[in-house]
Amino acid sequence: MFLAALAVFPLVQLLRLSLSDVQVQNLHRDWPFIGLENFINGFTSGVLTDGLLNTLVFVVIVTIIGLIGGIAAAVALRGTGQVTGALLGLMVFIWALPPVVNGSVWKFLLADDGLFNSMLSLFGLSSFPFLYDERYALISVAVVNAWAVIPFNALVFRAAVLNVPDEQFEAAQLDGATPRQEFWYVILPALRPTTLVLGVLTIVYAFRSFDFVYVMTKGGPGASTQTLPYLSYQQAFVGYDFSAGAASAVVAVVVVLALAAVYARSVLKEESE
Amino acid sequence: MSSSTVTVATPRTAHGRRRTRKSPAAIAIRIILAIVYVIPLLWIVLTSFKDKDDVIGSSTAIFFQPTLDAYRAAFTPELLAALGQSLVIATTSTAIVLAVAIPAAYGLARVRGVLPTIGLSLLIVLQMVPQTATVIPFFQVFGGLRLLDTNLAVILADAALMTPFAIILLRPFFRAVPPALEEAASVDGARSFRIFWSIVLPVVRNGVATTATLVFLIVWGEFLYAVNFFLTPGNYPLSALLAQQVSSYGINWPGLMALGVITSLPILVLFSFTYRLLKEGLTVGAVK
């Protein structure tokens, strides 16, 4: 009951806000009902459309790099040696660090006078505007986000690789399989169910990502890194247009609902076996 | 090539442990991972010991005169207050989340039917809702209740954010407890709360520890609620202080990195105690 009140009630309020005209003056007074006007405005002005497109690009980059990187790391780190163990531990520690810390470091590394650009200048190249150019900022933040999620994915994939029965590897080795063939014909098929679930989790993670955008670019330059979660925050708490922010958030929630339905179905199906 | 010769040529490891073959690709991936994950961590620590003038320029990238200036400048009463705030908020939120999530997860693991299934689906959805979708209504509600600028607002919001996640993470651990264990105890005449407390809970302590750790970690790093619900920056926890400084103009990098290190140290302590648990627990709870 406590849970229902605290978790569902905000969503109801959010929906009401998105259908009303609420600015900072009347946040605690009457909310005039205006129907779908907030949504229509958002889409006709292009703000919401751009937000959706940015989110899509962001999610695709994070998911692809996050999954491929996770599988690669899991396979490379499946041994039990000390170096492997230390590296895995370090990666999981970084995953456990607050996103605001990781985001700060990457903002520094990618800055004009940061490590990456200092290295480029050593090779006589001019500095690259990782975070200051509308064309690259979104990609940079997405790659950093993927970097942050790879350790978790690697840990889960690794458990799945370790679950493959020894006999399968032995059989493959008896048949003279190269490590590459072993990967394609033994490991990869065994990872399929894990990949599906982690795929959905990574998509959702990327979709709701807010921290890295806030820390690294604040949605800029221009509106080039305004993903839906950031857009709704920006509209509500920087522009003080609470109902516009709520409308953007509602669009995000609808997408999440669809994703969650897919995920819930696969989880429930797995349990009723 | 006959299979018997290959068998002879294939050395087996003595303990039946899987023989992992070292392919060049695997080694290359390890080197890339080491570079990509060690450098940022190294960089944050190195920079935090640098002088402001040594930050820029490649000549002082690795070799520089280490200084504690950044830390000295960072250790202000403001920082200690923020550290205290972080501890209070993270500990209280974690306690509330566990108090709600443990019974709920136990119930959802034991009861079958339509209602629990609906409940579970709802939790999965709630767990995935973007935080920015709840910060706006919470801001309005807490404003109406005159709770803005209090710890209670942030703690309640964090607890509401983490409870669905905690229930979903805990439930598989409870499901793994054999019902026969409880039946035996109830035959002996133990009451149901006693059974839960002294029989079931000890069995799932790893799950509880994993969940508590994760909730604490996430609340420790949470700053969206903190930045918006605290009206006076003097009340900020560490994460919010860091978020505020990183987005200000003319960033003092050594100072910021020192603050990052200070924010991360408690995580390092917690992590060193719970890494083994996390390694096991994450793979059980997160995907099931």
- Domain CATH number, residue B107: 1.10.3720.10
Q: Does residue B231 form part of some domain?
A: yes
pLDDT of amino acid B63: 64
**What are the chain B neighbours of A166 within 8 Å (beta carbons)?**
16, 18
At residue B149, φ and ψ (nearest 5 deg) are 70, 10
Contact between B221 and A100 using a beta-carbon 8 Å cutoff: yes
For chain A, domain boundaries? 41-250
Q: Mark whether B165 and B256 lie in a shared domain.
A: yes
Q: Mark whether B99 and B149 lie in a shared domain.
A: yes
Residue A9 vs residues A13, A231, A232, B237: alpha-carbon distances, Å = 6, 22, 19, 26
Q: Please give the share of chain A, as a percent, with pLDDT higher than 90.
A: 16
Q: Mark whether B227 and B203 lie in a shared domain.
A: yes
pLDDT of amino acid B74: 78
A27 pLDDT more than 70: no
Contact between A94 and B21 using a beta-carbon 8 Å cutoff: no
pLDDT of amino acid B58: 53
**What are the chain A neighbours of B169 within 8 Å (beta carbons)?**
none
Where residue A256 falls (left for φ over 0; alpha for ψ -120 to 50; beta otherwise) is alpha
Say what angle helices A47-76 and A242-271 make with each other, to 10 degrees.
40
Q: Does residue B29 form part of some domain?
A: yes
Q: Mark whether B186 and B253 lie in a shared domain.
A: yes
pLDDT of amino acid B90: 94
Q: Mark whether B50 and B87 lie in a shared domain.
A: no
Contact between B33 and A91 using a beta-carbon 8 Å cutoff: yes
A13 pLDDT more than 90: no
Given pLDDT bands bounded at 50, 70 and 90, which one contains residue A35?
low
Dist CA A196 CA B272 (whole Å) = 31
A28 pLDDT more than 70: no
- Burial class (CB within 10 angstroms; exposed 0-12, middle 13-18, buried 19+) of B98: buried
What length does chain A have? 273
Range of the domain at B59: 24-67
* pTM for this prediction: 0.86
Q: Which of A64-78, A92-106, A153-167, A216-230 has the lowest mean pLDDT?
A: A216-230
Averaged pLDDT for residues A24-50: 72
- The partner residue sitting opposite B26, judged by closest CB among A10, A76, A245, is A76
Beta bridge partners of A23: A241
Q: Mark whether B98 and B170 lie in a shared domain.
A: yes
**What are the chain A neighbours of B42 within 8 Å (beta carbons)?**
none
**Any CB–CB contact under 8 A between B138 and chain A?**
yes
Q: From B45, B62, B213, B235, select the one nearest B150 (Cα to Cα).
A: B235
Given pLDDT bands bounded at 50, 70 and 90, which one contains residue A73?
very high
Q: Does residue B192 form part of some domain?
A: yes
Given pLDDT bands bounded at 50, 70 and 90, which one contains residue A25?
low
- The partner residue sitting opposite A97, judged by closest CB among B57, B122, B264, is B264
3-state class (DSSP) for residue A256: helix
- Burial class (CB within 10 angstroms; exposed 0-12, middle 13-18, buried 19+) of A199: middle
pLDDT of amino acid B57: 56
Report the residue of A13, A28, A92, A101 to disrupt the B interface, i.e. the one with the largest count of B CBs within 10 Å. A101
Given pLDDT bands bounded at 50, 70 and 90, which one contains residue A85?
confident
- In this structure, are residues A187 and A161 in contact, taking their beta carbons and an 8 Å threshold? yes
- The matching CATH number, chosen from 3.30.360.10, 1.10.3720.10, 3.30.950.10, 2.40.33.20, for A41-250 is 1.10.3720.10
As a whole number, the mean pLDDT across chain A is 83
Dist CA A111 CA B258 (whole Å) = 18
A30 pLDDT more than 50: yes
Given pLDDT bands bounded at 50, 70 and 90, which one contains residue A223?
confident
The shortest C-alpha distance from A206 to chain B (Å) reads 10
DSSP B211: H
3-state class (DSSP) for residue B216: helix
* Successive 10-residue mean pLDDT values, chain B, 288 residues: 34 43 79 89 86 64 72 82 92 94 88 80 82 85 85 91 88 84 74 79 87 92 90 87 80 85 91 86 61
Q: Which alpha helices (DSSP H) does chain B contain, by range?
A: 3-9, 24-48, 52-55, 69-74, 77-110, 114-128, 131-144, 151-175, 179-187, 192-195, 201-203, 205-221, 224-229, 238-246, 253-285
pLDDT of amino acid B235: 87
At residue A236, φ and ψ (nearest 5 deg) are -80, -45
pLDDT of amino acid B11: 39
Q: Which of A37-41, A114-118, A172-176, B1-5 has the lowest mean pLDDT?
A: B1-5
Given pLDDT bands bounded at 50, 70 and 90, which one contains residue A4?
low
Dist CA A182 CA B20 (whole Å) = 11
Residue A209 vs residues A60, A142, B94, B101, B196: alpha-carbon distances, Å = 13, 10, 22, 24, 37
Q: Does residue B111 form part of some domain?
A: yes
pLDDT of amino acid A239: 77
A98 pLDDT more than 80: yes
Q: Does residue B280 form part of some domain?
A: yes
Q: Mark whether B164 and B135 lie in a shared domain.
A: yes
Dist CA A13 CA A22 (whole Å) = 12
Radius of gyration from C-alpha coordinates of chain A? 22
Q: Mark whether B28 and B118 lie in a shared domain.
A: no
Q: Mark whether B134 and B223 lie in a shared domain.
A: yes
Nearest CA in chain A to B59: A118
Q: Mark whether B59 and B185 lie in a shared domain.
A: no
pLDDT of amino acid A5: 67
Q: Does residue B124 form part of some domain?
A: yes
Q: Mark whether B103 and B235 lie in a shared domain.
A: yes
Q: Does residue B14 form part of some domain?
A: no
Given pLDDT bands bounded at 50, 70 and 90, which one contains residue A147?
very high
**What are the chain A neighbours of B7 within 8 Å (beta carbons)?**
174
**What are the chain B neighbours of A219 within 8 Å (beta carbons)?**
none
What's the domain count of chain B?
A: 2
ipTM of the complex: 0.84
Contact between A8 and B126 using a beta-carbon 8 Å cutoff: yes
3-state class (DSSP) for residue B162: helix
**What are the chain B neighbours of A264 within 8 Å (beta carbons)?**
120-121, 124-125
Beta bridge partners of A33: A20
Among the three residues B67, B92, B124, which one is the final residue of a domain in this structure? B67
Q: Which of A122-136, A247-261, B118-132, B268-282 has the lowest mean pLDDT?
A: A122-136
